[in-house]
Amino acid sequence: MPRLGTGIGWRPEIADTVEAMPGIDWVEVVAENVCPGHLPESLLRLRERGVTVIPHGVSLGLGGAERPGPGRLTALAERVAALGAPLVTEHIAFVRAGGALTASPHLEAGHLLPVPRTRDALDVLCENVRIAQDALPVPLALENIAALFSWPGEELTEGQFLSELVERTGVRLLVDVANLHTNHVNRGEDPVAALAALPLEAIAYVHVAGGFERDGVWHDSHAHPVPRAVLDILTDLASRVTPPGVLLERDDDFPGPAELRRELDVVREAVAAGAAGAARSTGTGKPGTPEARTAGGGAAVDGSRVGGRGRVGGGGPAVASAATAVNGPSAAVDGTATAVNSPAAAVNGPATAMDSPATAVAGPTAAADDAATATEDTAAATTAGTVPAGDGVRQRLGVAQAAVLSSLVAGTPVPEGFDRARMGVQARALAAKRAGVVAKVAPELPAILGDGYRAAFLAYARSLPMSGGYRRDALDFAGHLLKLGRPDDPGTRRELREWWLHRAGPAPRPRGLAARARVLLRRS
């Protein structure tokens, strides 16, 4: 893997700061936020200076029960090519559920949710990773996510799950040490033990980020300075292996240039401290490199075997399961089957409640993309170490994930075995994130609704889940309010209706006409 050095997540809000910042070796950009044919000028200038740009995907949902959609894989590959990236990264998570596989309403989480660490889920994940590797032109690395809740009946630890994933697919790892801290606080998992079990030689790079704790729950906000606990985990990791790259993530509440530089300096110091500690303890002068087997164990990875499809060599026996009995998760899956179909009316509500052009949006929908994958040939996934997951396995996982997601976004009962309080925290966090992202993609809505925007959106989100992306969600929210005869103020309601008509039609209405119509409506 390439030696990346120290980097920062590129965001439009800090583009100028990142360009001017000394010592930035590389940047990471959210893949879905850039258009291959219209890259931001800031990214183009960085590339011209020789700064590596790596796309970081958030929407493949490789941990989901469905196979990854060809449309999404093609879009990600196009971004890789446009950025000239040496690798691409995604997450071990599911982001949607339902649909044809489970004969239940299609649901979008709008967020990265944890997969159960079971044999079934691992089989599905491995096949999905193979499909993605075959479709992408560069190596793929996957990130461990931050979780607010745990699945009942898990069979593997995170280290075992990731080790076997690497052995069976050759995928690289993006180790997020902030997420290890999150899982320590929220799920009681020891970050030291997790690092010891991870195949550190498979690391592509490392993420660090800040967050905050509230009522005993750690929120991975990416909007706060990196805390000492996360830096300590980074130092521990750097004492075990030399990471090819370390990247600071900051997604909100951006500090000034001087503070950002200081945060990066602190990250560098944590890595240096780990390397110095390793040198003292081993007398070799440096910690192990990713190409060498580390004390943590795991599959040996031959860096020279990395091919265009992103696989690495490695072999060796599979990691032993932490439990040989699978009755627990099977019972949990079966027990949630009835909860999936119950929200059908509520889920379909936004589509049927809006007797309007808003139900037609140009371009393919996520649901259509997912449905297309149901007939995808799985022969490509039948490679050494990976046996295609059967439809029964995918259906069991799909039913369980749909029940969980339905309880989080559609107000259906929490499946048996889950911590209800923690699931409530996750549900509120998802709704709050939806409100925040919709406000960014459709800033006219909070401008029109004023102080009432957030309360109105959260009330809408409690029982009406996303069925597409955030722009679709913005339209559904506006249509929902109009169907209810809201807002109460006639002028505000007319303005919202005009915005909705302008955005919801098959083609945008001329801005001049829309402006004149708005003036006439206000005079009436």
Of 12-26, 134-148, 375-389, 448-462, minimum mean pLDDT range: 375-389
Of 33-37, 91-95, 477-481, minimum mean pLDDT range: 33-37
pLDDT class of 360 with cuts at 50, 70, 90: very low
Is 484 within the bounds of a domain?
A: yes
| Domain co-membership, 350 together with 468 | yes
Angle at 55 between CA 53 and CA 58, to 5 degrees: 155
| Domain co-membership, 297 together with 362 | no
SS (H, E, C) 130-168: HHHHHHCCCCEEEECCCCCCCCCCCCCCHHHHHHHHHHH
Given a cut of 90, whether residue 355 has pLDDT beyond it is no
Tens of pLDDT, residue by residue over 371-391, are: 344 334 444 443 444 556 678
* Helix (H/G/I), strand (E/B), else coil: 104: strand
| Domain co-membership, 266 together with 357 | no
Amino acid letter for position 275 = A
Given a cut of 60, whether residue 317 has pLDDT beyond it is no
DSSP single-letter state for residue 215? T
Domain boundary among 305, 320, 353: 305
Centroid of chain to Cα 26: 21
Element (H, E) at 473: helix 470-483
| Domain co-membership, 46 together with 194 | yes
pLDDT score of 506:
64
Tens of pLDDT, residue by residue over 325-352, are: 333 333 333 333 333 333 333 333 333 3
* Helix (H/G/I), strand (E/B), else coil: 441: helix
Given a cut of 60, whether residue 192 has pLDDT beyond it is yes
Mean pLDDT for 230-234 is: 97
**What share of the chain has pLDDT > 90, as a percent?**
69
Given a cut of 60, whether residue 358 has pLDDT beyond it is no
Is 362 within the bounds of a domain?
A: yes
Domain boundary among 290, 305, 320: 305
Given a cut of 60, whether residue 359 has pLDDT beyond it is no
Is 464 within the bounds of a domain?
A: yes
List of long-range contacts for 76-82, beta carbons under 8 Å, 24+ apart: 76/31, 76/136, 77/135, 77/136, 77/137, 78/36, 79/31, 79/34, 79/36, 79/55, 80/55, 80/136, 80/137, 80/138, 81/36, 81/137, 82/34, 82/36, 82/37, 82/39
Given a cut of 90, whether residue 304 has pLDDT beyond it is no
| Domain co-membership, 419 together with 297 | no
Mean pLDDT for 186-205 is: 94
pLDDT score of 357:
30
415 Cβ contact list (under 8 Å, min separation 6):
332, 335, 336, 339, 400, 403, 404, 407
| Domain co-membership, 250 together with 363 | no
| Domain co-membership, 444 together with 391 | yes
Given a cut of 60, whether residue 64 has pLDDT beyond it is yes
Whichever domain contains 25, its CATH number is 3.20.20.150
Start-to-end Cα distance in the chain: 65
Domain total for the chain?
Answer: 2
| Domain co-membership, 81 together with 229 | yes
| Domain co-membership, 259 together with 401 | no
List of long-range contacts for 41-47, beta carbons under 8 Å, 24+ apart: 42/10, 42/12, 42/15, 42/16, 42/18, 43/10, 43/83, 45/19, 46/10, 46/18, 46/19, 47/83, 47/84
88 Cβ contact list (under 8 Å, min separation 6):
31, 54, 55, 56, 57, 76, 79, 80, 136, 138, 139, 140, 141, 310
| Domain co-membership, 301 together with 352 | no
Is 326 within the bounds of a domain?
A: no
Is 315 within the bounds of a domain?
A: no
Is 299 within the bounds of a domain?
A: yes
Domain boundary among 289, 305, 321: 305
Is 312 within the bounds of a domain?
A: no
Q: Are 457 and 434 in contact (CB under 8 A)?
A: yes
Range of the domain at 87: 5-305
Amino acid letter for position 161 = F
Strands 140-143 and 172-176: parallel
Tens of pLDDT, residue by residue over 137-160, are: 999 999 999 999 999 999 999 999
| Domain co-membership, 176 together with 71 | yes
Rounded to whole angstroms, how far apart are CA atoms 179 and 207? 9
pLDDT class of 286 with cuts at 50, 70, 90: low
| Domain co-membership, 229 together with 340 | no
Is 321 within the bounds of a domain?
A: no
Of 334-338, 459-463, 508-512, minimum mean pLDDT range: 334-338
pLDDT score of 507:
54
Of 70-74, 440-444, 459-463, 502-506, minimum mean pLDDT range: 502-506
Rounded to whole angstroms, how far apart are CA atoms 269 and 287? 15
Mean pLDDT score across all residues of the chain? 82
48 Cβ contact list (under 8 Å, min separation 6):
none
Tens of pLDDT, residue by residue over 81-97, are: 999 999 999 999 999 99
Of 85-89, 145-149, 280-284, 454-458, minimum mean pLDDT range: 280-284
Give backbone dihedrals phi and psi of 241, rounded to 5 degrees, phi first: -155, 150
Rounded to whole angstroms, how far apart are CA atoms 254 and 502? 32
Given a cut of 50, whether residue 480 has pLDDT beyond it is yes
Mean pLDDT for 232-255 is: 96
